[in-house]
Amino acid sequence: MTEYKSLGYELSDNVATITINRPEAANSLSLDMCKELMDASIRVDDDPEVRAVVFRGSGRFFCTGADLRGFPPAGPEMATFVKEMTTYLHAAVSRFTRMDAPLITAINGTCAGAGMSLALFSDLAVAGESARFTMAYSRIGLTPDGSSTYFLPRLVGLRRSLELCLTNRMLSAAEALDWGMINRVVADDELQSSAHELAAQLAAGPTESIGAAKRLYHQSWNEGLESQMEWETRAICDASRRPEAKEGVSAFFEKRDPVFR
């Protein structure tokens, strides 16, 4: 199995845990980390044993964005470097988003810049009480990346997205919950256990059907009503053919909990 330098990876009871592991650099993103994230996204997508994923940060921070100390000077060299970095990062986000297994982010401490993007793209998000959210890009004369211009307006609306981007407003965990950016806030010392309890619940579900439902929701933004309903018909008919549906329907009539394996 691949060994990572800037990520932790563990698989237990069908739940993969991916940990951003650069606490000495506030879990900031390096080029190597982006490459490892892409590899990890392929790994969880291809492994049939993975039925849910928890994505978290080590130490005091979730992720504070790109590690600018590793960047070349602003200008053509930086542009080339950023293009390579975002190629790997965006491939990872795309793969994580499109895979069947649901992904839960466990957000601890500060997430800023691309770190905030990584807090937004998951299917479900749990934050500790001390979590803080800020875009931070315009503070250094740059624009958002990592998928935040896709997910943020879908979560909070255009006006609030622009406010966060243009003013670099810092949101508390409670404000992020109120705005719809995250699903729940828990005590800091309960964050990891809460995220893994949620992941375990989802890992026991019908993974292929969950993946199909995720894709329906994502594509709905680009479809009209009738075409989206056609995609719904096709998806539910495909689901009807799978063993998951046979088990789910049988369990319903037998008045027992289904076992999706």
Catalytic positions are 90, 145
Rounded Cα distance, 242 and 244, in Å: 5
- 104 phi/psi in degrees, rounded to 5: -115, 130
The conformational region for residue 30 under phi > 0 = left, psi -120 to 50 = alpha, else beta, is beta
Decide if 114 contacts 146 (C-beta within 8 A): yes
Full strand arrangement of the beta sheet holding 132-134: 110-112, 132-134, 171-172
Helix 76-98 and helix 31-46, axial crossing angle in degrees, nearest 10:
20
Assigned token pair, 158? 């255009």
Q: Of all residues in the chain, what percent are helix, strand and coil, respectively (each to 5)?
A: 55, 15, 30
Rounded Cα distance, 238 and 253, in Å: 21
Q: What angle do CA 200, 152, 177 make, to 5 degrees?
A: 55
Single out the residue of 86, 76, 5 nearest to residue 40, CA to CA. 5
Distances (CA, A) of 33 to 27, 65, 89, 164, 196: 10, 12, 9, 26, 23
Single out the residue of 153, 106, 168 nearest to residue 131, CA to CA. 106
